[in-house]
Amino acid sequence: MLFLLSTLGCFQENLPELDFVGTVVVPKAAATRTIPTLDETGAVTGSEELTDPRFIGAIFLGAYAGIDNTSFAYPHPSMGPILDPATPGNAFPYGGTSVGRFDFACYDMLACKIVTGRFSDYDDVLEYFRIIGQPVTDFDGNQIADASTFQQQCFYYYHVTSDVELSFIGDADFTVNSDGDFEAEFNMPHTTYYEGMAIWGFMDAPTISATSTATNQTFTTCQTTGSREVPDYNDTTTEGEQVTEALNFPSQSITTGDWVGDGTTFVGSVDAEITVNLSVEYSGD
**104 φ/ψ angles, rounded to the nearest 5 degrees:** -85, 125
Each residue's pLDDT tens digit, 33-54: 999 998 888 888 999 999 999 9
Range of the domain at 213: 17-281
131-157 pLDDT tens trace:
999 999 998 999 999 999 999 999 999
Model pLDDT, residue 267: 96
> In which band, very low, low, confident or very high, does the pLDDT at 207 lie, cut at 50, 70 and 90?
very high
In a domain, 9, yes or no: no
Report the alpha-carbon angle 194-200-205, nearest 5: 160
CA–CA separation, 134 vs 131, rounded Å? 7
Domain assignment present for 42: yes
For residue 4, tell me if it sits in a domain: no
pTM (2 decimals)?
Answer: 0.91
Q: What is the pLDDT of residues 117-136, one digit of tens each?
A: 999 999 999 999 999 999 99
Domains identified in the chain, total number: 1
